[in-house]
């Protein structure tokens, strides 16, 4: 019989009188059972996970056991529902005042863990769990426990500006006949006014993709910037009165691609224009961001084993090489590449490249795949295998499955198209997420938290702070570990990273210093003049 220690703390809460942990004490401790290892180790910084032979994280195990099948496009549910958390709420009334878990409930918890482990092993994901997810949760907890510091002066300036800016946006929309900022109302207004057709709109399930739709109508630029205001406002509102520090809550498997996500506040969603809100915790420290260059392009090149694409990736800028081959601009080549590997429809791609009919677009697609023939074969194989087996797989063996429920969120045709797209992109995004997590694990093993703080794990970039007199040392260390992690899984690649240390006194955008004050003063700068060409926008510009 495996001896276990069970430590359960409410998701995202520390240890206090209101949120008291519950323990099962046994003679020996061979396994540690937790719900959400990341938050548990934040709550108990003195915990020593290394003394256990195994760690059973119910949160991660549940995610791995059900990966993909609980997506909202299948179930209609926005929030993932944990069976364990639901059961735990009913059990708590039987817990003793000392916090001890009754033996019969402990047995249920252990049995549930064992059942999850069997499912995860049956899906081939146990290795991924042990090698990636558990170490990542521990590393993330250790590196981010100090939180993020915010420039209080800039935060107050933003709060004073945001309501006025929003009112200007909303008033301008009302003048055009749009009285709501809800997506459904925007869709209906666009269709009723004859500006677009429903099939032209790019969305993500039930959400409109403002950025992808900007070429359709200037109104999407307004909504995109309104969204930036909302995200900035949510962030600033999380600052406690008189303090500067924020403590984001991470979900180590927040998406079906196993990417880490963030909330309360979501520092990963801070718009580039507002990133200067984030500052070092000390004037003697600086902030640096290091970004993988064209990470997912390299991953798909290696997965497809397309020699030309691997060569393009290893020798420089893939998008520039493709642009030269197709005789188009680099930005357009980037859109072509990403749209073809992520399943953007031909009509949408035609609109992105300047309109006209689809004939030119088809010719461009054919030329694209003459340069990368193995890539086309690989994408076709992914769809075929996905339909045949009901799942897609990452480089670490993680599988995302087709769901069995049909909530009617999407029509059968659109649901099938959506599945076809994720058959193609899940191996790329899921493998990229594993590589990124591996880089965080490797870095944490090399640094001391007294000299290095992870501020934001940004999908494919690492934002950190360190003492100014050690910044160069950590820039080289982080860069080397990021490249090493990618080569660990894809030895054929020669990955590159981009270092942004342009203005270390605060977090700035990837390639240039963003003027925070300019954004506040001119939130509509650069937008096409007016939703209605007869409107006077001079007062906003």
Instruction: Map out the domains of the chain as residue ranges.
Output: 4-122, 152-243+511-541, 296-430
Q: Which residues of the chain have pLDDT under 50?
A: 1, 10-21, 25, 204-206, 511-513, 528-541
The pTM (predicted TM-score) of the whole model is 0.88
User: Taking a C-beta distance cutoff of 8 angstroms, is the pair 337, 364 a contact?
Assistant: no
Q: Which two tokens stand for residue 18?
A: 């209101």
Q: Domain 296-430: give its CATH architecture.
A: Orthogonal Bundle (1.10)
Cα–Cα distances in angstroms (integers) from residue 341 to residues 317, 329, 422, in the given order: 17, 19, 10
Q: What is the pLDDT of residue 94?
A: 65
State the DSSP string of 68-84. TTT-HHHH--SS---HH
pLDDT digits (tens, 9 = 90+) for 302-350: 999 999 999 999 999 999 999 999 999 998 899 889 888 877 778 778 8
Number of alpha carbons in the 13 Å side-chain half-sphere of residue 97: 0
User: Taking a C-beta distance cutoff of 8 angstroms, is the pair 232, 275 a contact?
Assistant: no
CA-to-CA distance for 463 and 290, rounded, in angstroms? Answer: 7
pLDDT digits (tens, 9 = 90+) for 330-341: 988 998 898 888
Cα–Cα distances in angstroms (integers) from residue 306 to residues 105, 297, 376, in the given order: 53, 11, 9
Angle at 217 between CA 419 and CA 296, to 5 degrees: 40
Q: What is the pLDDT of residue 187?
A: 80
Q: What is the pLDDT of residue 539?
A: 34
What is the DSSP pairing of strand 207-208 with strand 203-204? antiparallel
**Within 10 Å of residue 245's Cβ, how many Cβ atoms?**
12
Q: What is the pLDDT of residue 541?
A: 25
Q: What is the pLDDT of residue 492?
A: 98
User: Taking a C-beta distance cutoff of 8 angstroms, is the pair 341, 424 a contact?
Assistant: yes
Q: Packing angle between helix 373-389 and helix 295-304, nearest 10 degrees?
A: 80
User: Taking a C-beta distance cutoff of 8 angstroms, is the pair 7, 34 a contact?
Assistant: yes
Q: How far apart are the first and last CA of the chain?
A: 71
**β-bridge partners, 23:** 7, 100
Which residue has tokens 């004037």? 283
CA-to-CA distance for 83 and 108, rounded, in angstroms? Answer: 13
Which residues make Cβ contacts (< 8 Å) with residue 535, sequence separation at least 6? Answer: 172, 175, 176, 529
Cα–Cα distances in angstroms (integers) from residue 488 to residues 375, 484, 494, in the given order: 22, 6, 11
| DSSP letter, residue 100 | B
Q: Which two tokens stand for residue 222?
A: 């307004």
């Amino acid at each position: 019989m495996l001896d276990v220690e069970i430590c359960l703390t409410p998701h995202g809460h520390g240890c206090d009188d209101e949120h008291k942990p519950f323990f099962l004490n046994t003679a020996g401790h061979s396994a540690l059972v937790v719900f959400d290892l990341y938050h548990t180790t934040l709550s108990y910084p003195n915990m020593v996970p290394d003394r256990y032979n195994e760690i059973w994280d119910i949160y991660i195990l549940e995610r791995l056991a059900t990966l993909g099948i609980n997506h909202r496009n299948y179930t209609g549910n926005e929030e993932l529902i944990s069976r364990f958390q639901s059961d735990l709420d009913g059990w708590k009334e039987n817990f003793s005042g000392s916090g001890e878990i009754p033996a019969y409930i402990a047995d249920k918890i252990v049995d549930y863990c064992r059942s999850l482990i069997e499912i995860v092993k049956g899906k081939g994901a146990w290795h991924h769990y042990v090698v990636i997810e558990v170490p990542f949760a521990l590393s993330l907890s250790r590196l981010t426990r100090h939180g993020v510091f915010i420039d209080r002066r800039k935060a107050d300036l933003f709060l004073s500006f945001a309501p006025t800016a929003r009112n200007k946006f909303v008033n301008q929309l009302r003048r055009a006949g749009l009285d709501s900022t809800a997506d459904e109302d925007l869709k209906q207004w666009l269709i009723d006014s004859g500006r677009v057709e429903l099939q032209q709109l790019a969305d993500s399930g039930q959400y409109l993709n403002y950025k992808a739709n900007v070429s359709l109508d200037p109104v999407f630029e307004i909504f995109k910037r309104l969204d930036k205001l909302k995200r900035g406002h949510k962030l600033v509102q999380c600052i406690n009165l008189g303090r500067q520090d924020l403590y984001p809550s991470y979900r180590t498997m927040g998406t079906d691609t196993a990417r880490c996500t963030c909330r309360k506040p979501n520092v990963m969603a801070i718009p580039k224009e507002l990133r200067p809100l984030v500052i070092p915790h000390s004037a003697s420290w600086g902030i640096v961001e290091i970004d993988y260059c064209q990470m997912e392009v390299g991953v798909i090149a290696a997965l497809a084993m397309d020699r030309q694409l691997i060569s393009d990736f290893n020798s420089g800028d893939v998008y520039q090489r493709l642009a030269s081959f197709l005789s188009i601009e680099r930005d357009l080549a980037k859109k072509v590449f990403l749209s073809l590997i992520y399943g953007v429809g031909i009509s949408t791609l035609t609109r992105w490249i300047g309109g006209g009919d689809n004939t030119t677009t088809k010719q461009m697609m054919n030329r694209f795949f003459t340069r990368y023939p193995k890539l086309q074969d690989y994408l076709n194989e992914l769809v075929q295998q996905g339909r045949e087996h009901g799942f897609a797989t990452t480089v670490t063996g993680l599988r995302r499955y087709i769901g069995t429920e049909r909530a009617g969120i999407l029509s059968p045709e659109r649901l099938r198209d959506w599945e076809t797209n994720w058959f193609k992109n899940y191996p790329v995004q899921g493998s990229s997420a594993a590589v990124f997590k591996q880089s965080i694990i490797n870095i944490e093993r090399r640094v001391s938290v007294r000299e290095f703080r992870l501020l934001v794990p940004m999908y494919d970039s690492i934002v950190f702070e360190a003492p100014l007199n050690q910044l160069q040392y950590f820039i080289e260390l982080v860069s080397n570990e990021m490249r090493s992690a990618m080569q660990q899984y894809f030895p054929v690649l020669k990955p590159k990273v981009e270092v942004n240390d342009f203005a270390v006194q605060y977090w700035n955008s990837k390639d240039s210093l963003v003027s925070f004050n300019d954004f506040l003063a001119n939130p509509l700068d650069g937008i096409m003049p007016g939703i209605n060409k007869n409107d006077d926008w001079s007062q906003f510009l």
